[in-house]
Structure 1
Amino acid sequence: MRFPPHITRVGAAAAVLSALLVGGTVGATPASAAVGSVCYSDLPSQAYDTLDLIDQGGPFPYSQDGTVFSNREGVLPSEPSGYYHEYTVITPGSSTRGARRIVAGEQYQEDYYTSDHYATFDLIDFGC
């Protein structure tokens, strides 16, 4: 088992909890309603590749990778515009980008995984 590259990211869970307590809700949807957690070891192998590329600063396979994720769905904790950036997690056999993404938050360096094109997110737990 390889050592997760983001293991040095500290305080992500505390930051998310703080954002949820301070940020409250976005629209009528509580930010925590669709945010769960996932162990790093439970991610698809392509997500490891994406996280490695994020750590290296690219190059990324799609021009949209690294662009601002605006959180229009209001699922993630409310943050200022430009806080979140999205990256494609390649879906084998798909002729398009597919539905899988990593959305990274800048200040607290938290990473979220979605397999359903932003309907739900899981905060990646690098400690398990």
Structure 2
Amino acid sequence: MTRAAPTLAALLLGALLAACDLPQDTRTSSPQPTPTTQTQATRDPHSGLRWIATRDLPREADPVLTRIAQGGPYRYSKDGSTFGNRERLLPRQNSSYYREYTVPTPGENDRGARRIVCGGPPRTTAECYYTPDHYASFRRIQP
């Protein structure tokens, strides 16, 4: 073995180890979004809640949103009634700001747990939230 072989092997090993210690985003050709950018893109800046696209809602939600925009008629007598936001998960507003609507759950004999809650004047769907778990969590519906 020549004297150059161990030196070359040491240099290659050192270069390999140095490359492994680099942060991942410096080894890729395109920049990765920072967590702050990702968070801003996935959360509503007004409420801080995660966005949900209408296409990602249960299919039973689409006719509910249509009926809200039309002002009814609603399937359940409680639909359109005031939602008090007692859980304080939605942005604070006056007590009559939010209204709740049932998103039917297939196989349920009652209203089930799924709701759409909208704020602002009646027939407004610009500020609506979806909860699949009876107000334990919310996501802002993208207008």
Give the one of 125, 128, 133 matched to 1:116: 133
Of Structure 1 and Structure 2, the greater strand share is in 1
Within a 5 Å distance, the mapping from 1:1-128 to structure 2 comes to 17-18=45-46, 32=48, 35-106=49-120, 109-126=126-143
| SS class of match (2:50) | strand
CA distance in 2, matches of 1:101, 1:82: 17
Equivalenced residue count is 97
Identical counterparts, % of pairs: 49
The unaligned stretches of length 5 or more in structure 2 are 1-43
Aligned amino acid, residue 115 of structure 1: P
TM-score, structure 2 normalization: 0.63
RMSD: 1.6
Q: Which has the higher contact order (CA 8 A, sep 6+)?
A: 1
CA distance in 1, matches of 2:92, 2:45: 12
Aligned amino acid, residue 76 of structure 2: Y
The unaligned stretches of length 5 or more in structure 1 are 1-15, 21-31
TM-score, structure 1 normalization: 0.71
2:23 maps to which residue? Answer: none
CA distance in 1, matches of 2:52, 2:97: 21
